[in-house]
Amino acid sequence: MPYIIVPPARREELDAAAEARWSAIVEVRPELVTAVELQRRLLVRVMSLKRAIEAGRLPRLSLPPRYLAAKLARGVPALAGEPIPLPVTLLADTLVGLCGELAEGGAGEAAEHIRRVIESGQMDAASLLGASLSRDQNAIRTGAAHRGLAADLVWLVAELTVGPFAYVLQRMIFATGPRTGDPPAGEQRDPVAAALDAWNHGYCPACGSWPAMAEVVNGHRALRCSFCSAAWELPSYACVYCGEEGEPFVTAAPDEERKDRRLEVCSACAGYLKTVDTFVLSPFPLLSIGDLETMDLDMAAMEHGYQRPSLRDFTVKR
Q: Does 269 bind Zn ion (CB under 5 A)?
A: yes
The rounded distance, in Å, linking the Cα atoms of 5 and 235 is 17
Residue 266 CB, shortest distance to Zn ion, in Å, is 3
Q: Is 228 in the site for Zn ion (CB under 5 A)?
A: yes
Closer of 103 and 311 to Zn ion (Cβ):
311
204 touches Zn ion by CB under 5 A: yes
Does 173 bind Zn ion (CB under 5 A)? Our answer is no
Query: How far is residue 108's CA from residue 81's CA, in Å, rounded to a whole number?
Result: 35
Residue number with CB closer to Zn ion (261 or 312): 312
Radius of gyration of the chain (CA): 19
Contact status: 284 vs Zn ion (CB under 5 A): no
Which residue number, 105 or 163, has a Cβ lying nearer to Zn ion? 163
Is residue 239 at the binding interface for Zn ion, with CB under 5 A as the rule? yes
Shortest distance, CB of residue 68 to Zn ion, whole angstroms?
Answer: 15
* CB neighbours of residue 210 within 10 Å: 20
Tell me: does residue 301 bind Zn ion (CB under 5 A): no
**Closer of 162 and 300 to Zn ion (Cβ):** 162
User: Measured between alpha carbons, how far apart are the two ends of the chain, in Å?
Assistant: 36
Using DSSP's 3-state secondary structure scheme, residue 307 falls into: strand
- How deeply is 251 buried, as exposed, middle or buried, from its count of CB atoms within 10 A (0-12, 13-18, 19+)? exposed
In the complex, the smallest distance separating the C-beta of residue 163 from Zn ion, rounded to whole angstroms, is 9
Among 261, 195, 264, 259, which Cα is nearest to 232's? 195
**Does 207 help bind Zn ion (rule: CB under 5 A)?**
yes
Helices (H), the chain: 11-28, 33-55, 65-73, 88-102, 108-119, 125-133, 137-146, 151-174, 191-197, 287-293, 295-303
- Counting contacts by CB under 5 A, is residue 168 touching Zn ion? no
Q: Is 268 in the site for Zn ion (CB under 5 A)?
A: yes
Complex with Zn ion: residue 22 or 165, whichever CB lies closer: 165
Q: Is 263 in the site for Zn ion (CB under 5 A)?
A: no
At residue 173, the 3 state secondary structure works out as: helix
Q: Which amino acid is at 110?
A: A
Of 233, 244, 296, 298, the one binding Zn ion (CB under 5 A) is 244
* Min separation Cβ 225 and Zn ion, Å: 3
Please say which residue, 22 or 227, places its beta carbon nearer to Zn ion.
227
Q: Does 80 bind Zn ion (CB under 5 A)?
A: no
Q: What angle do CA 229, 132, 109 make, to 5 degrees?
A: 105
> Given the complex with Zn ion, which of 4 and 123 has the nearer CB atom?
4
Q: Give the interface with Zn ion as residue ranges (CB under 5 A).
A: 204, 206-207, 209, 225, 227-228, 230, 239, 241-242, 244, 266, 268-269, 271
